[in-house]
Amino acid sequence: MDLFNKLLQRVNNSIKDRINCHCIIAGADNKQLYSVIGTGILLEYEEKLFIVTAAHVIDHNEYTTLYTFLNNQTIELTGDWELTLKPNNERRKDKIDFAFHMLDSTTSQTFKSNYKPLQIHDILFNEIPNEKKYYTFFCFLTSKNKPRYMTDNVRPAPYSYSNYGVKSKIYKDIKYDPMLHKIIYFEKKNNGITFPQPEGMSGGSVW
């Protein structure tokens, strides 16, 4: 039993660590009502803190200020973002779809005291998908991260889904590069789960 509890604690700590390197990226309408538009991953590199996400999430910055939420506070994500270019000015043709932003020192300290950013050695750059591997997607879905009642603040509620990777033939059939995308099975008929709307999933991590 003692061994079981130790293993359970390790699993719980691992899940907590995964959650604590993610943050919400939200926008706001003209009434300052917040809505989650994507997920960011906190990455520390050479003592600098970055938010990494999908470029199409940051495209929203053209018409809304970007925000995140921490300890009942709304934090404005100011400053420039570095984005991959849109081929022919069409983001849907961007096969890499990558963006990052370096946080200022004050915001970085706030995040570091409440989150556990990933380190560069935590990232597996050349992962080859394998149908025998079990993958987990982490993100903040728009539908599950609405402003709390009578407030304009969002309490982060992470979402995850796990399953085995698909066979390599599927990547070829739908013309996706397995080095840039990870696809897992969703067994709707067997588990009775209704998969949620994907808004907010963009920029999340795969473990």
* Pairs from 31-37 (Cβ < 8 Å, separation ≥ 24): 32/152, 33/147, 33/152, 34/67, 34/74, 34/147, 34/152, 34/153, 34/154, 35/142, 36/140, 36/141, 36/142, 36/145, 36/154, 36/199, 36/200, 37/142, 37/199, 37/200, 37/202
Q: What is the pTM of this model?
A: 0.78
pLDDT surpassing 60 at residue 192: no
What percent of the chain lies above the pLDDT cut of 70?
78
Give the pLDDT of residue 43.
92
Average pLDDT of 43-51?
Answer: 90
Confidence tier at 100 by pLDDT (50, 70, 90)? very high
pLDDT surpassing 70 at residue 4: no
Average pLDDT of 106-133?
Answer: 81
Give the pLDDT of residue 17.
61
Mean of pLDDT over the chain: 79
pLDDT surpassing 60 at residue 176: yes
- How far is 148 from 118, CA to CA, in rounded Å? 28
pLDDT surpassing 70 at residue 198: no
